Amino acid sequence: MEGALMTDSLPMPMVSPEWVEEHLREPGLSIIDASWYLPVQGRDAEQEYEQAHIPGAVFFDQDLVVEPGIDLPHAMPSPGHFAQHLGSMGISVHDNIVVYDGPGFFSAPRVWWMLRAMGAKTVAILAGGMDGWKNAGREITSEPTKVAPCLFETEFDENAVVTLDEMKTISGSGDVVVVDARPHGRFTGEEPEPREGMRSGHIPGSLNVPFLDLAEDGRLKNAHALKALFEDVGVPTDRPLVTSCGSGVTAAALLLALEEAGYRNIRLYDGSWSEWGGRSDTDVETGPASNLQK
């Protein structure tokens, strides 16, 4: 059903749990559990969804909704493949879509970004996530969500995704600035990558804004605080930006935070460090960010 059926427009890019609770059963609202965790976190996203989810929510498996045959984690699927999965979940491109994850601001932005790139216009992330929702005593259920499959009509924005060939041109040029969301130790090369076979370090000329600095208690920091954070790192306002991370997940969180802080012309390197650091034909820098973009 189309989002226009709702009485109130969906607040974006972050929506409060109070708003979701108020509109929970209104036609036109679709809710997606986009939880995903690193192995070291010791959490099973699908199992947690089956045990407790927001009523009406469907589970988006970020290891399943990927492009088949690509040996990279979380490879952006083709529009047809994405549409097949979303349609089977009963999600329409015209819906008002709320995406959440467990801690609140980790994996949900990845699906938020994918949906926008595929043509969805009204997509927001639940502030505080499922952990915050449960801690506040809001309604949860273990009942399977009844799904009516539909057609998800994609309108794919190819410009949203940066390819490896583009990154080789961008790297170190100074014309386009790469901002990396990985923890600082991995960015500098002082800490090893969690994936076997990955080199340590960063794409030449990159800046580093660890995604953990973007939120507090599962909620994105306000625009003023984010702007100050990015200015302190030296993220320029007069050049195009590309976000990157380990596998393309927290790069989306960084992209959202940059937009909220007023930055524009931002794209996402989908292969991220899993692709760049796993190859032998790409240049790698170690140590702190250079002063090239400052």
Report, as residue numbers or ranges, the catalytic residues: 245
Hunting for tokens 């499922």 — which residue is that?
130
* CB 222, CB 215: distance < 8 Å: no
Dihedral angle computed from the Cα positions of residues 119, 220, 72 and 178, in that order, rounded to the nearest 10 degrees: 90
- Separation of alpha carbons 46 and 11, rounded Å: 27
- Tell me which residue of 70, 195, 45 sits closest to 129, measured CA to CA: 45
Kindly state the DSSP code that residue 293 receives in the 8-state scheme: T
- Separation of alpha carbons 220 and 212, rounded Å: 10
Q: Which residues is 123 bridged to in the sheet?
A: 97
Q: How far is CA 34 from CA 29, 114, 158, 206, in A?
A: 16, 11, 23, 28
The tokens describing 284, both together, are 């790698």
Q: How far is CA 90 from CA 51, 121, 262, in A?
A: 21, 17, 33
